[in-house]
Amino acid sequence: MRNIATVLLASIFSLAAATAAFAHSELQSSVPAANATVKDAPKTIEIDFSEELNPKLSKIEVQDSMGMTMDKGDSHVSDSDAKHMSVDLQSLSAGTYKVLWTSVAADDGHKLTGTYTFTVQP
């Protein structure tokens, strides 16, 4: 009976470790939100992720409808919250913009990429 309990506990711990090892830094929320239409052009893009980020490998880029870069190239992970990343924007006019993000988990190096759009009203 004791051996069965030991094997069962070892299995549980192995499963928990495997689950943690496959964690990814997924987008949880953003400002502006995905597919949002905003009246006033934002000055920054703010994204919160599910896991702490590797600040050297994670980034946000913003493009206009022609593919021109509209961010200031200063994408960074917050010093006070390693799950939060932001980038400053150039002055945006009315139109639709694409946010391209790359998150690399600090603990295991898993990389995810994604995109979403938002629109600034005329």
Segment 42-66, tens digit of pLDDT: 999 999 999 999 999 999 999 999 9
Residue 30 in this model has a pLDDT that exceeds 70: yes
Q: ∠ at Cα 38 (43, 24), nearest 5°?
A: 70
Whole-prediction pTM: 0.81
Classify 43 in phi/psi space as left (phi over 0), alpha (psi -120 to 50) or beta: alpha
Residues in a beta bridge with 38: 120
Query: How many residues are listed for the chain in this entry?
Result: 122
Whether 25 contacts 52, CB under 8 Å: yes
Mean pLDDT of 12-27: 59
**CATH domain 24-120 topology:** Immunoglobulin-like (2.60.40)
